[in-house]
């Protein structure tokens, strides 16, 4: 293999730049040319592809977002779109592609591989909802952004003796809510993977109030539904003043944490190694701090599983 390509697709996440940098530098280290595809599969179809040099990825390791931009592309879901994309790659002589993104982007990568085009997936999403890796690139940064926000909310919650409901991202996964709740000592953590019992939440809030607790924080994962609706229910049931904060897209931005930069560097480099070994249709990941890879078909068949033990612990610590 003499030329490879790299793109970012779907929702962006902090650390994608560090992954791009790793792909580019690792490839150049091995004497391979690297091409950046702009705006995900949209740029692949239109041929928005440029050669990247060592310096092209300078000064980006600490920046959130993605220098290659990202997009959602309906046309790529069609056979015609996928064929056009492969034609663009063949025109330049690019022989393999690294796709950094979430599970939707993985489906795109799977389609390219099915059409005979070697593709490797790198997990980039704040949601931590991708099987085959303990962590996805961006999760740790988003988690720290949430913690920072909740610490601030806690100050005002204490001053006003209020209950605060904080809605966090995560799509169908409760990882961000669970980790944030555990890290911030939330009273209750409401996630899609576990049923919640409103009576129990109310009893816990009232118990805390009786023993003089000045504030209560409840974290609701977006996969459960609206934080605003949830806050209304809590206020009705407890008659306590309840406020809601929907953290929204600030969770996607910001400078990646050291953990995400290192993770992204390791995973990006591993993806290049796999392409150079002649692998295709694989996804890279980290399991028990070891780099691993899996068949993309297998990964797309299974669901990410939340750590139930951690959830139980969060319940025990918030009595």
Active site members: 127
Nearer to ligand ADP, 9 or 245 (CB): 9
Is 117 among the residues that bind ligand ADP (CB under 6 A)?
Answer: no
Burial per residue of 130-152, b for 16 or more beta-carbon CB atoms within 10 angstroms, e otherwise: bbbbebbbbbbbbbbbbeebbee
Residue 292 CB-half CA count within 13 A = 16
Is 128 among the residues that bind ligand ADP (CB under 6 A)?
Answer: no
The residue within the footprint of ligand ADP, chosen from 4, 6, 7, 9 (CB under 6 A), is 9
d(CA 262, CA 268): 10
Is 111 among the residues that bind ligand ADP (CB under 6 A)?
Answer: yes
Q: Which residue is nearest to ligand ADP (CB)?
A: 104
Nearer to ligand ADP, 184 or 260 (CB): 260
Nearer to ligand ADP, 41 or 293 (CB): 41
Tokens of 262: 């290192």
Nearer to ligand ADP, 14 or 102 (CB): 102
Find the shortest distance in angstroms from Cβ 151 to ligand ADP.
28
Is 220 among the residues that bind ligand ADP (CB under 6 A)?
Answer: no
Stretch that binds ligand ADP, among 90-98, 102-110, 137-145, 274-282 (CB under 6 A): 102-110
Interface with ligand ADP in residues 231-290 (CB under 6 A)? none
Find the shortest distance in angstroms from Cβ 178 to ligand ADP.
20
d(CA 39, CA 196): 40
Interface with ligand ADP in residues 57-96 (CB under 6 A)? 72-73, 76-77
Is 123 among the residues that bind ligand ADP (CB under 6 A)?
Answer: no
Nearer to ligand ADP, 105 or 314 (CB): 105
The backbone torsions φ and ψ at residue 123, rounded to the nearest 5 degrees and listed phi first, read -75, 105
Query: Is residue 118 within 8 Å of 279, Cβ to Cβ?
Result: yes
Find the shortest distance in angstroms from Cβ 82 to ligand ADP.
7
Is 10 among the residues that bind ligand ADP (CB under 6 A)?
Answer: yes
Interface with ligand ADP in residues 34-63 (CB under 6 A)? 41
Is 11 among the residues that bind ligand ADP (CB under 6 A)?
Answer: yes
The residue within the footprint of ligand ADP, chosen from 8, 66, 88, 105 (CB under 6 A), is 105
Nearer to ligand ADP, 9 or 242 (CB): 9
User: Rule CB under 6 A: which residues touch ligand ADP?
Assistant: 9-11, 41, 72-73, 76-77, 101-105, 107-108, 111, 125
């Amino acid at each position: 293999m003499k030329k490879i390509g790299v793109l970012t697709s779907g929702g962006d996440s902090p650390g994608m730049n560090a992954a791009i940098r790793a792909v580019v530098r690792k490839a150049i280290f091995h004497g391979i040319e690297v091409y950046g595809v702009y705006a995900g599969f949209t740029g692949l179809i239109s041929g928005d592809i440029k050669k990247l040099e060592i310096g092209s990825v300078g000064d980006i390791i600490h920046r959130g977002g993605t220098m290659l931009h990202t997009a959602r592309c309906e046309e790529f879901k069609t056979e015609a779109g996928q064929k056009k994309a492969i034609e663009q790659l063949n025109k330049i002589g690019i022989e393999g592609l690294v796709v950094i993104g979430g599970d939707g982007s993985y489906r795109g990568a799977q389609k390219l591989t099915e059409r005979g085009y070697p593709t490797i997936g790198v997990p980039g999403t704040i949601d931590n909802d991708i099987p085959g890796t303990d962590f996805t690139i961006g999760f740790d940064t988003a988690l720290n952004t949430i913690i920072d926000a909740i610490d601030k909310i806690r100050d005002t919650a204490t001053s006003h003796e209020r209950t605060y409901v904080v809605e966090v991202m995560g799509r169908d996964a409760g990882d961000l809510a669970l980790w944030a709740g555990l890290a911030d000592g939330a009273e209750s953590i409401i996630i899609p993977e576990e049923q919640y019992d409103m009576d129990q939440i109310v009893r816990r809030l009232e118990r805390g109030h009786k023993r003089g607790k000045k504030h209560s924080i409840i974290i609701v994962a977006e996969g459960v539904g609206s934080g605003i609706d949830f806050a209304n229910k809590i206020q009705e049931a407890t008659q306590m003043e309840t406020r809601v904060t929907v953290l929204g897209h600030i969770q996607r931005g910001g400078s990646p944490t050291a953990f995400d930069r290192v993770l992204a560097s390791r995973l990006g480099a591993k993806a290049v190694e796999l392409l150079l070994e002649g692998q295709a249709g694989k996804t890279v990941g980290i399991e028990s701090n070891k780099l691993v890879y899996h068949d993309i078909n297998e990964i797309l068949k299974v669901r990410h599983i939340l750590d139930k033990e951690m959830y139980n612990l969060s319940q025990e610590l918030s009595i």
